[in-house]
A and B are shown apart, each in its own frame.
Chain A
């Protein structure tokens, strides 16, 4: 790394002092520009072609050899989540500690984009975008079901078979102790949705923003590895990192489109009697993709930002309604109790080795961590792109703490209401309903349930549109070698491609399960990539000028 800030022949600084990296690589030098018929393209050939062809081959194999591919993916899923649980859990802890260190360290004063850079978006617009991309649909899907599952398994306590635990309770459970089971259930849920996932996103987002805005490198994952690999990062070492990022993003998005279509279909079926079928779900994916297309064509400001803000508005309306119409006092006191329970149980939940609660730590935590990590290139790159002008301290604090607190409030409100319905009203419909219906069953006990259910369905759809459009932008940027000014039809291509992959796999037997296995599998190599990234961030920050 060379400091060129004082060298007149080097790359001029961003806004104010910074230390760009002096590299021989010109952005776009490996790109191929041309046109297919009347439509132009500008792609990084090795990354675009390799990832595109591999994804098509994967989809074809899943369709043509469903049994064989199902067996392979099932084995892959089990191996990754069960054999590497220690790695996922340990790495998650390292990311949180790393982020907390950045907040309090002098590196926190470094400004992304140079010391004089100013933020592009207001806090509301910025926060809406990072929140919608980072959590999105998961909150709708798991908001009721996860607290309920952990509470139920904690109440059930420990069961042993041949000396091994067969229960799914977190830690040692809380057999028969209702109050403690609720606390443990909520603590375990917050553990999965709080600091740890957001620390993962913060690491990737910070690395991308730092090496792009301050160091002058292209906005792709490989750039963060320049301090380690040097110029080799522009060759196949870097290609491999970027290709992996494309896989993770596309498989993650396609899986989410499938899951979201299932939940929206379940809601429509409950509310309007629309048939629960793959045909309806295919139509839903096409509608979601259609909206996403409009959004990507309109761009970050004209599409993605507006949708994210609508999304936030709707989500907070729903949250406020459940808070007011539900057991308000119990939720509010529960919020504080749940936070305390989280910090109380956190040290035990975060232990990577010697866990006895193997089903919980492997089946839930390990799965979640692999899921968040495989999503991190997508969310991280999106967060990076909209975060120019923030200081490292501001960036990490906002990305880590504020969304975590919102998640705690969300889980306390949705999960807390559903558990309250079971404990105080004896209403167990939400507890017994299938995953995609739990939220709607919880709404049934509240006033104006038709309106809230409809709002819930709209929110599921809007969350998916925001994931699909921002995901298309991210994949397009990576496959264009970090260029953000590639022709618009390219992002349209990726948006349609995601929808098509989701539809094809929804129609095939076990297709979505295969996709989910692929998402989890890409999480494993990415865990190593992210750990190395932490070191690269420190190397990058060490040479940056710090503001006062």
Chain B
């Protein structure tokens, strides 16, 4: 049913993504398709990495770790942005197109009042992506 799954991850808060990571891995195993872990980083040093190159390496290591843990096929894709806070949705949508993903599995929070002002990334991706989107709250 699916041939490529994309799973956006925030490496600084990976511990909060357990359910989404588990779901992505399960779906990857069920449909025997690779899960591509996608992260967005800035060009300046950040909490996760000091450079885009280091970030890319850490994301690849994270994907490999997921593969080893759950036994599914994995890849990784780092998006580099000058303004990751503002460009996150745009970068993820572009990555979904580039990777030709047909399912996006991503974590999100429970919607609240603030979502009227700042919609959640999961909500935005679900609204605008061409692929199917599985939002895990």
Set of chain A residues within 8 Å of B42, measured between Cβ atoms: 484-485
Set of chain B residues within 8 Å of A15, measured between Cβ atoms: 51-53
Q: Is B54 an interface residue (CB 8 A)?
A: yes
Contact between B44 and A489, CB atoms less than 8 A apart:
no
Q: Is A487 an interface residue (CB 8 A)?
A: yes
In this complex, the member of B45, B81, B112 whose beta carbon has the largest number of chain A beta carbons within 10 angstroms is B45
Tell me, in angstroms, the Cα distance from A27 to B51 when the chains sit together: 12
Please name the residue on chain B nearest to A21 by beta carbon.
Answer: B50
Q: Which of B68-76, B84-92, B100-108, B127-135 contacts A (4 or more CB under 8 A)?
A: B84-92
Contact between A482 and B44, CB atoms less than 8 A apart:
yes
Contact between A216 and B45, CB atoms less than 8 A apart:
yes
Contact between B84 and A484, CB atoms less than 8 A apart:
yes
Tell me, in angstroms, the Cα distance from A430 to B74 when the chains sit together: 69
Q: Is A488 an interface residue (CB 8 A)?
A: yes
Set of chain A residues within 8 Å of B44, measured between Cβ atoms: 212-213, 218-219, 385, 482, 484
Set of chain A residues within 8 Å of B52, measured between Cβ atoms: 14-15
Q: How far is the CB of A8 from chain B (nearest CB, A)?
A: 12
Consensus secondary structure, chain A interface: loop
Q: Known contacts A14-B51, A385-B82; is A301 also within 8 Å of B46 by CB? A: no
Report which of A27, A299, A388 forms a contact with B47, defined as CB distance below 8 A: A27
Report which of B85, B115, B117 forms a contact with A484, defined as CB distance below 8 A: B85
Contact between A28 and B46, CB atoms less than 8 A apart:
yes
Please name the residue on chain A nearest to B43 by beta carbon.
Answer: A388
Contact between B53 and A12, CB atoms less than 8 A apart:
yes
Set of chain B residues within 8 Å of A486, measured between Cβ atoms: 85
In this complex, the member of B50, B115, B117 whose beta carbon has the largest number of chain A beta carbons within 10 angstroms is B50
Q: Is B65 an interface residue (CB 8 A)?
A: no
Q: Return 27 A-B CB contacts under 8 Å, by A number.
A: A11-B54, A12-B50, A12-B53, A12-B57, A13-B53, A14-B52, A27-B50, A31-B47, A38-B114, A216-B50, A216-B51, A218-B44, A218-B45, A299-B87, A300-B82, A300-B87, A301-B86, A302-B86, A302-B87, A302-B90, A388-B82, A482-B44, A484-B42, A485-B46, A486-B85, A488-B85, A491-B85
Q: Which residues of B contact A (CB under 8 A)?
A: 12, 41-47, 50-54, 57, 81-87, 90, 112-115, 117-118
